[in-house]
């Protein structure tokens, strides 16, 4: 027990500014959107990491309804309404989700 290192706690001089982190993430998200086409229309999704955490609370990645909710939150109500009217297979939805998360720098299973 004599060789145990002491934990050093730093003195915090100012609060951690999470507002700035969120602002930068939003700006980066707008600049690095994932673009795809479906039904002859161009679509865009923000990087996966910029989606509000509340959207992912009860999401099951193996449930198509959960994935659709995630797309609705990412696209917004109006674009999602148009997107949801298009024909898209489960394989297509899975491919879209995989390409989007890869674009966002997220590996499968994260």
**Distance, CA of 72 to CA of 85 (rounded, Å):** 12
- Over the chain (110 residues), what is each successive 10-residue block's mean pLDDT? 70 87 77 92 89 74 81 92 94 90 74
Q: Read off the pTM.
A: 0.69
pLDDT for 82 equals 97
**Would you say 94 and 63 are in contact if contact means Cβ atoms under 8 Å apart?**
no
Domain spans of the chain? 34-103
Residues forming a β-bridge with 35: 44
pLDDT for 107 equals 67
User: By C-alpha distance, which of 81, 73, 67 is closest to 50?
Assistant: 73
Handedness of CA 51, 53, 54, 56 (dihedral sign): positive
pLDDT for 41 equals 96
């Amino acid at each position: 027990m004599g060789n145990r290192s002491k934990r050093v706690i730093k003195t915090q001089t100012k609060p951690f500014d999470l507002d700035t982190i969120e602002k930068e993430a939003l700006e980066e998200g707008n600049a690095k959107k994932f673009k795809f086409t479906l039904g002859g229309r161009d679509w865009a999704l923000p990087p996966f990491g910029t989606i509000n955490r509340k959207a992912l609370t009860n999401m099951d990645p193996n449930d198509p309804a959960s994935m659709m909710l995630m797309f609705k939150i990412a696209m917004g109500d109006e674009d999602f309404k148009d997107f949801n009217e298009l024909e898209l297979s489960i394989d297509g939805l899975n491919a879209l989700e995989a390409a989007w998360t890869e674009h966002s720098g997220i590996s499968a299973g994260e």
